[in-house]
Amino acid sequence: MSEEHDGARTWEATRKEAVAGGRMDQQRIVANKERARARVRAHRLASIRADRGLNQTTLAARLEVSQPRVSRIERGDLESTQLATLRAYIEALGGELEVTAKFGDDRIIIVD
């Protein structure tokens, strides 16, 4: 497969060059993918909230947390979020929280 199309470089070629030049390493790539996945999941939560006709302020009041806390959840900042807060957020939208641990092909539900 050619690395250029109509003068434009493919992502694969650009990435290969960045890795070879030390501007990008595998750890950073993995970390960036994880952050992107967290943002996508969080955006889905925000969409569900909006579909339920709730704004962040109203939901925050129901959860007895600050609006910025709801905003952080919806931006994917879940590392510092307490499990109880996340459970309350999900339940306020009509969902159920399930936490699963993965060990290779094995999955264990930790919280349901």
Q: Distance of CA 44 to CAs 29, 75, 102, Å?
A: 23, 10, 22
Show the domains of the chain with their CATH numbers: 28-111 (1.10.260.40)
DSSP H helical ranges for 4-112: 11-20, 26-51, 56-63, 67-74, 83-92
Contact 83, 90 (CB under 8 A): no
Q: What is the pTM of this model?
A: 0.66
Q: If you search the block for the tokens 């996945």, which residue do you land on?
A: 37
Provide the pLDDT for residue 53: 96
Provide the pLDDT for residue 22: 77
Distance (Å, whole) CA 25 – CA 35: 16
Provide the pLDDT for residue 2: 46
> Residue 55 has what DSSP assignment?
-
Contact 99, 111 (CB under 8 A): yes
Ordered per-residue pLDDT tens for the chain, 112 residues? 445 556 788 988 887 888 788 777 778 888 888 888 888 888 899 999 999 999 999 999 999 999 999 999 998 888 888 999 999 999 999 999 999 999 999 999 998 8
Provide the pLDDT for residue 3: 52
